[in-house]
Amino acid sequence: MSDTSLSHHQPLEVRFRGGGFAPRRHRWIGAAAFVILIAFLEWATQSGVITPLTLPKPSDVLATLVELWQSGMFVKHIVPSLTRLAVGASLGAIVGVGVGVLIGLFSLVRAGLVPLVAAIFPIPKIALLPLFVIWFGIDEGSKYALIAFGTFTPTVVATYGAVDNVDRSLIRMGQSFGLSWFSIVRKIVLPGAMPGVLSGLRISLAIAIILLVAAEMLGAQYGIGAYILEAGSLYDLERLFAGVVILSLLGVLTSTAIGMIERRVLAWRS
């Protein structure tokens, strides 16, 4: 009896339901969002819904960018800015990652430096700019210092957080298998902390770009930040937005670069 009743049942179909919120790549949606926004602004400024006092025409901003490129001033502005960004941010990021790893690994360093970092973090670095000018000079020194100081603290915090979050059971396993301390750090702690460090760097580098404008407030004749500030003081909205577009592109580029590093360095995750 029971046999026959069972044979009547179809085998229960169990679908795979554990897909989670897996992100998928939508290539063109991001671009479309930009296009729609810019097209709307172009229409609104052309038709006069938005006055020229409020926003410039996107087409005029584009023309200004082309002009900037053709006059050769683009290179003159971007080279010092990229140099400041590269020197300042790498200085801040390298020292930041180093200090962050040390805090993560050694309790003594942690006890000493975590309160110090917490004390430095909320200081508005821009407020210290006049001081940096006296310490490091009005030329490149103070600009490197400001950007380095600004990227240092978020990098430290992200790095020691990432080291803390490395899977403890992996470390215990390494210890059970008799790996040396150095081996554990090199093979388990550092690769395990890498995702956190890289996402911390995304934030630090965005802060570096923000501070670039601040750094170029004092005594910079050339640079994208100086260009934006000059346009602002002349109330030249086309040039102001042209500079802002360049900064945004810089942000997208650094973010893409970190994305590429992530895919390479974190290939072990997939």
Partner 1 sequence: MTYNRRQTLALMGAAAASGLAAPAIASGKKPVVGALSLTSHSGSFIALERGYFKDAGLDVELKFFQAAQPMAVAIASGDVDFGVTAISGGLLSLAQKGAVKVIGGALSEEPGIEGQKLLASDAAFEAGLTSPAALDGKRYGMTTAGSSFHYMGSKIAGAEGGTPQFIPLQKVGAVIGALKSGQIDAWSIVPHIAKPLAGSGAVHIIGNVADYLPNYQVTTVFTSARNASEERGLTESFLNGFGKGVADYNATMVDKENGDAAIDEMVDLIHKYVYADRPREKAAPSIINGSMRINKDAAINVASVTDQLTWMQTEGLVDANITLETFLDTSYVDVIGA
Positions in the binding site for partner 1 (CB under 8 A): 51-53, 130, 133-134, 137-138, 217-221, 226, 229-230, 233-236
Q: How far apart are CA 159 and CA 170, in angstroms?
A: 19
CB of 223 to partner 1, least distance (A): 11
Shortest reach from residue 70's CB to partner 1, in Å: 15
Q: Compute the least distance from the CB of residue 149 to partner 1, in Å.
A: 19
Residues 195, 162: contact at Cβ < 8 Å? yes
∠33-35-41 over CA atoms, to 5°?
A: 105
| E strand or H helix that includes residue 39 | helix 29-47
Terminal-residue alpha carbon distance, the chain: 50
Q: How far is the CB of 174 from partner 1 (least distance, A)?
A: 54
Cβ at position 130, least distance to partner 1 in Å: 6
Listed as own residue / partner, the contacts of 15-22 with beta carbons closer than 8 Å and 24 or more positions apart are none
DSSP symbols for 154-208: HHHHHHHHHHHTS-HHHHHHHHHTT--HHHHIIIIIHHHHHHHHHHHHHHHHHHH
Task: Please identify, using beta-carbon distances, which residue of 221 and 248 lies nearer to partner 1.
Answer: 221
Coil, helix or strand for 106? coil
Question: What are the tokens at 255?
Answer: 């973010």
The smaller minimum CB distance to partner 1, of residues 192 and 232, is found at: 232
Q: Considering beta carbons, is residue 52 or 115 the nearer one to partner 1?
A: 52
The smaller minimum CB distance to partner 1, of residues 77 and 96, is found at 77
Whether the Cβ atoms of residue 22 and residue 33 lie closer than 8 Å to each other: no
As measured in angstroms, the least distance from the Cβ of 74 to partner 1 is 16
* CB atoms near residue 3 (< 10 Å): 6
In the complex, the smallest distance separating the C-beta of residue 175 from partner 1, rounded to whole angstroms, is 56
Identify which of residues 51 and 107 has a Cβ nearer to partner 1 in the complex. Answer: 51
Residue nearer to partner 1 on the CB measure, 52 or 259? 52
- Residue pair 228/240 in contact (Cβ under 8 Å)? The answer is yes
- Percent helix, strand and coil across the chain, each rounded to 5? 75, 0, 25
Please identify, using beta-carbon distances, which residue of 96 and 223 lies nearer to partner 1. Answer: 223
